[in-house]
Amino acid sequence: MVNTKNILLGITSSIASYKAYELIRLYKKNGFNVKVVLTENALNFVSPLVLETLTAEKVYCKQFDPRVDVEHISLVDWADVFVVAPISANTISKCSFGFADNLLTSIFCAFLGSKKPILLAPAMNKDMYNNPVIQENIKKLKSNGCYFMDCEVGFLACGTNGVGRLADIDLIFQKTKRLIFQKIENNNKKVIVTIGGTREKIDSVRYISNYSSGKMGISLADWAYNFGYDVNVISSIDFSRNYPIIKVNSALEMLDELKKQEFDYLIMAAAVGDFRVDNVSEFKISKEDIKDDFQLKLVKNPDVVKTIAQTKKENQKIIGFCLADKDIINCAKNKLVNKNLDYIIANDVQTALNTDKNRVTIIEKSGKIINIELDSKDNIAKKILEVVCD
């Protein structure tokens, strides 16, 4: 994916500074341009040579390194977002009072004035983080428009347990993408995405499910979040993101959760089981207790998306999915009408399940058909949202 967006990454003095290597790797893997600015004390924890190798760019550190351009201004002009991860207690305090005594704080001062997004991810000892002065400085920076990744609780380098760990790198990456791609007009619109194959219990340890990996649903939820929507996910799969995730197992559980939700857009990417077991055993069924064979009685599950669509409001849009291995388009068109959907995404078994790529056809209620050729599921999710969430 080529994003052609520019990220300026600041690194301050912290034992967590080495984690910036992985953050850069994620940025570059996803097509972003990255430049790095360091405080001089950060040189005690990271290597400029490694950073230059990872970014394929010069690393910036000195405040008065003779250049043609004024670096703290030219870097602000270049960047779409300024991420400081980790940011120390010392740098937080300097930034909150407008100090510009090194290159990083000078860039911060100019960046804040530019109104471009700034993301700060603190890392420090728990007592330093809980210091009321530091907390007041964080509050001050937030009030001036800075975004923060809250510290995690866990084992710290100083040998104690508590709050102060750098936020998960994947979550910092997701938040960065949101700050780059978000559209202000989406901030008050809610998107619900259902994800994964539902699980229908047989007994206390077994269940019936399907081959859905949830990859497309996760990409759809991620891009909805990136575009600035208020995202909630209902999922049978465990994963971690910056948006709320409600864990369910069965089709009935998913339906119950959906009935509680208000939304502007519902994207039903989950592979919901058509059947459930009627004679569920409370305990594990032992093969020693079965003579020759064992039969399960299956009953139909309610059609989850059709049930929700029956009470759809005028301002709501519902997007369904159709997975088939033959006559895919006609199958999708029938479901679009029968389930009262606004859009349906048709894809076939061969390309959709357990792969990182897919090809889909978007069918609108008006009859318009849009074909998206084979691409990564992440790219396809972005294109789908650009069509269905207008």
Among all residues, which ones are annotated catalytic?
158
The 3-state secondary structure of the chain, one letter per residue: CCCCCEEEEEECCCHHHHHHHHHHHHHHHCCCEEEEEECHHHHHCCCHHHHHHHHCCCEECCCCCCCCCCHHHHHHHHCCEEEEEEECHHHHHHHHCCCCCCHHHHHHHHHHHHCCCEEEEECCCHHHHHCHHHHHHHHHHHHCCCEECCCEEEECCCCCEEEEECCCHHHHHHHHHHHHHCCHHHCCCEEEEEECECCEECCCCCEECCCCCCHHHHHHHHHHHHCCCEEEEEECCCCCCCCCEEECCCHHHHHHHHHCCCCCEEEECCECCCEEECCCCCCCCCHHHCCCCCCCCEEECCCHHHHHHCCCCCCCEEEEEEEECCCHHHHHHHHHHHCCCCEEEEEEHHHHCCCCEEEEEEEECCCCEEEEEEEEHHHHHHHHHHHHCC
Asked if 102 contacts 60 with a C-beta cutoff of 8 angstroms, the reply is: no
Residue whose pair of structure tokens reads 């104690």 in the numeric block = 160
From the number of C-beta atoms within 10 Å of its C-beta (0-12, 13-18, 19+), residue 259 rates as exposed
The helix-helix angle for 103-114 and 89-96 (nearest 10°) equals: 50
Half-sphere exposure of 31 (CA within 13 A, CB side): 9
Sign of CA dihedral 327, 330, 333, 337: negative
Burial 211-227 (b: 16+ CB within 10 A, else e): ebbbbbbbbbbbbbbbb
